[in-house]
């Protein structure tokens, strides 16, 4: 099953300390928050297209990359990304 494969991969990832090359602070280096669609094609494409690397920006994804109202979860996520 896929869950078992993911868990096994993660165990090896942690045991080999492969995560160390991804370490960064919680604050984006470029002081940038991006709201985009959760389309799986954008997982690697969006950062590559914008010249971003790990730690450069807060990436927030939802269906359609939309802010529907000033009080929705997308806006809340953007506010937290910017002010926290």
Rounded to whole angstroms, how far apart are CA atoms 30 and 82? Answer: 12
Q: Which structure tokens are listed for 10?
A: 């993660």
Locate the domains of the chain by residue range: 24-83
Rounded to whole angstroms, how far apart are CA atoms 27 and 7? Answer: 28
CB-CB contact of 74 with 68 (8 Å)? yes
CA distances to 3, 41, 74 from 64, rounded to whole Å, are 27, 13, 11
Encode pLDDT of 17-67 as tens digits: 999 999 999 999 999 999 999 999 999 999 999 999 999 999 999 999 999
Encode pLDDT of 58-67 as tens digits: 999 999 999 9
Q: For residue 84, what pLDDT is reported?
A: 82
């Amino acid at each position: 099953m896929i869950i078992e494969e993911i868990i096994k991969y993660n165990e090896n990832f942690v045991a080999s300390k492969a995560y160390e090359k991804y370490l960064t602070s919680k604050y984006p280096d470029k002081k940038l928050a991006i709201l985009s669609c959760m389309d799986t094609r954008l997982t690697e494409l969006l950062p590559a297209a914008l010249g971003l690397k790990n730690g450069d920006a807060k990436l927030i994804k939802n269906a359609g990359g939309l802010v529907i109202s000033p009080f929705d979860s997308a806006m809340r996520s953007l506010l937290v990304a910017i002010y926290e």
